[in-house]
Amino acid sequence: MNELKNDRFLRALSRQSVDRTPIWMMRQAGRYLPEYRATRKQAGSFLDLCMNAELACEVTLQPLRRYPMDAAILFSDILTVPDALGLGLYFEEGEGPRFRKTVRSEADLAGLNSFTADDDLDYVMRAVSTIRSELNGSVPLIGFSGSPWTLATYMVEGGSSKDFARVKSMAYDKPALMHDLLSLLADAVADYLAAQVRAGAQALQIFDTWGGSLSASAYREFSLAYMRRILERLPAEAEGRPVPVIVFTKGGGQWLESIADCGAHAVGIDWTTDIGLARKRIGDKVALQGNMDPSMLFASPERIRAEVAEILATFGHGSGHVFNLGHGITPGVNPDHVTAFVEAVQELSPPYHAS
């Protein structure tokens, strides 16, 4: 593999010194970019785009051509694992992801396919290796997966949900069945992420998108425990470098100390958590990633710059901060506003890293 020319992102995750705060965006390859929309149309569907290594590579690289991001993230979807388990993923316009089958009983669980990431999600591994080759050492490549709890919400509900009634009912009324499902998913995700590292991923993120829907005790039991199980099984290093892992629980600000103890190198925070307070609570243990409200990108470039300045000042001096949004970028954002966002981080952050 090629030598890494820009390791600012990896250094920040290890809380090593950097010249400025690194930046990337969740969903940075996405519908806000006209070139992405054109490539998706060329692919025929979102799933076809995910399954085509060359086109997945193309959309991964598109934001890097516009913006000097400090990391690329694999273009894929968190629901590839449940799809490989045999649930039949499809997308309905305006309704998001759906599954043809659900897991709501012991029989449903027993009927899932066996899973080996290298075989069952080989198209993802081809995409990882293709992207890594095309990056040519310019920036690191992030691999990712959904958390077991988040994947379970879709598998039990059959798609997106507003109240998570079915999956919470299973957790509270049939906890043994839920733990069996989460155990299966934790093992599958650990296999999946390790395979991405073998294919070339240099950092990993676990998206616990729906962990924040749980109560405090349920979060520890049904979400955090299984992410910890995954982290224990991941490779500590590859190609002579550590492979840092970011855990991002949307709505998880009240559990920062517990998340920081799970074994991850960094904790992603959403926009509802004050990054300065988060640093005081856990910043001596892990790096922090975040956390501008994605909707701020609808504001004027001047307002975006002011918000970036405030977040940088609130975090304060020193390393251990990866600038990001507090969730994925909103599809309707003007790409020029992203330019203002990235430039503000680049221009305003160096003084916070001066010795």
Token duo for residue 20: 């400025």
Order of strands, sheet of 141-146, starting from the edge strand that comes earlier in the sequence:
72-73, 141-146, 203-208, 245-249, 266-268, 287-292, 321-325
Of the candidates 178, 195, 239, the residue with the CA atom closest to the CA atom of residue 76: 195
- Quote the CA–CA distance of 10 and 254 in Å, as a whole number: 26
What is the phi/psi pair of residue 134, to 5°? -70, -30
- DSSP class of 208: E
DSSP string, 294-316: GGGGGS-HHHHHHHHHHHHHHH-
279 belongs to an annotated ligand binding site: no
Of the candidates 219, 205, 214, the residue with the CA atom closest to the CA atom of residue 322: 205
Query: Which one from 32, 36, 154, 219 is the annotated catalytic residue?
Result: 154
Query: Which one from 31, 66, 126, 241 is the annotated catalytic residue?
Result: 31
Beta bridge mates, 204: 143, 245
Query: Which one from 27, 37, 66, 303 is the annotated catalytic residue?
Result: 27
Please answer whether residues 289 and 260 qualify as being in contact, where contact means their C-beta atoms are separated by less than 8 angstroms.
no
Query: Which one from 37, 66, 77, 126 is the annotated catalytic residue?
Result: 77
209 belongs to an annotated ligand binding site: yes
Please answer whether residues 79 and 89 qualify as being in contact, where contact means their C-beta atoms are separated by less than 8 angstroms.
yes
- Tell me, yes or no, if 37 is annotated catalytic: no
150 belongs to an annotated ligand binding site: no
DSSP string, 146-198: E-HHHHHHHHHHSB--SS-HHHHHHHHH-HHHHHHHHHHHHHHHHHHHHHHHH
318 belongs to an annotated ligand binding site: no
31 belongs to an annotated ligand binding site: yes
- Tell me, yes or no, if 40 is annotated catalytic: yes
- Quote the CA–CA distance of 283 and 13 in Å, as a whole number: 11
249 belongs to an annotated ligand binding site: no
Residue type, 18: V
- Tell me, yes or no, if 172 is annotated catalytic: no
- DSSP class of 100: S
What is the phi/psi pair of residue 203, to 5°? -155, 160
- Tell me, yes or no, if 241 is annotated catalytic: no
77 belongs to an annotated ligand binding site: yes
- Tell me, yes or no, if 163 is annotated catalytic: no
281 belongs to an annotated ligand binding site: no
321 belongs to an annotated ligand binding site: no
Query: Which one from 40, 104, 132, 305 is the annotated catalytic residue?
Result: 40
Annotated binding-site positions: 27-31, 77, 154, 209, 327
Q: Which residues participate in catalysis according to the annotation?
A: 27, 31, 40, 77, 154
Q: Which residues are annotated as a binding site for substrate?
A: 27-31, 77, 154, 209, 327
